[in-house]
Amino acid sequence: MRIVFDILFPKFCVGCGRIGSYICSSCQNTIERIVDPICPVCEYYSFDGSTHDRCKNNYTIDGLMSFFRYKGVVQKAIKQIKYSFVSDMVLHLISLADVSTVFVSDAFLKDATVVPIPLHPFRQRFRGFNQAALIGKYLANSINLHYDESFLKRTQHSKPQVEMETKKQRLHNIQGIFEVTRCSRLPETVLLVDDVFTTGATMREAATALKRGGVKTVWGVTIAR
């Protein structure tokens, strides 16, 4: 069955176009892993990706885990996920990330719930799906964690962050756009998932909303940075 499927819907490498897989083995060799974790608040080096004490208050994100550099074949793969529904590509990226070995502390992970950064309903209708949700579901599945997208919501329609020209505009554009709905089983620890960490503003804002809503610990997890 699989062979028939592969003949009818052949896979092409996003890097070089070669037929056979979404990222061929020679393009896989060009992927750069993140070896210099950063604090998600100041974006300077932090040895395990946790937020510096000096960068923390009660409502800040606690750390960031990203797997790959956002360039080359990874950048192409993520763009493909964003604009067409390629769930096999997500699986492929997550298996390459080798997530279970990256999560160092099992104690921290044990009761974590995976939550995707929500898309505004309008954009989700337009695009058909939320790539962060797709990534979150596969991630939760591969490391055996709960997945829940029910309590973090987007409240207003912000413009795409790329249209904002200055840092100030970007901040203003997303301030207060997330809210946590009343929920009887709000988790203590959340892994907040997105495809890419670029300016980080969206992720910090969503983490703050979760913490104001009562979540104790929030770590960001992204495929790339």
User: Which chain residues interact with Zn ion by CB under 5 A?
Assistant: 13, 15-16, 18, 24, 27, 39, 41-42, 52, 55
- Least distance to Zn ion, CB of residue 62, Å: 11
- Least distance to Zn ion, CB of residue 223, Å: 18
- Least distance to Zn ion, CB of residue 111, Å: 26
Map tokens 């200055």 to a residue.
166
Residue 186: CB atoms within 10 Å: 17
Our CB check for Zn ion shows the closer of 151 and 197 to be: 197
Residue 113: CB atoms within 10 Å: 21
Our CB check for Zn ion shows the closer of 50 and 158 to be: 50
| C-alpha angle 213-215-217 in degrees, rounded to nearest 5 | 145
- Least distance to Zn ion, CB of residue 193, Å: 21
- Least distance to Zn ion, CB of residue 44, Å: 6
Residues 75 and 32: beta-carbon distance below 8 Å: no
Our CB check for Zn ion shows the closer of 27 and 140 to be: 27
Residue 51: CB atoms within 10 Å: 24
CA–CA separation, 191 and 55 (whole Å):
19
Our CB check for Zn ion shows the closer of 38 and 133 to be: 38
- Least distance to Zn ion, CB of residue 18, Å: 5
Contacts of 92 by beta carbon, 8 Å cutoff, 6+ apart: 21, 22, 23, 77
Contacts of 69 by beta carbon, 8 Å cutoff, 6+ apart: 31, 32, 33, 34, 224, 225
Our CB check for Zn ion shows the closer of 74 and 180 to be: 74
Helix (H, G, I), strand (E, B) or coil at 157: coil
C-alpha closest to that of 72 among 30, 44, 107, 42: 30
Our CB check for Zn ion shows the closer of 41 and 140 to be: 41
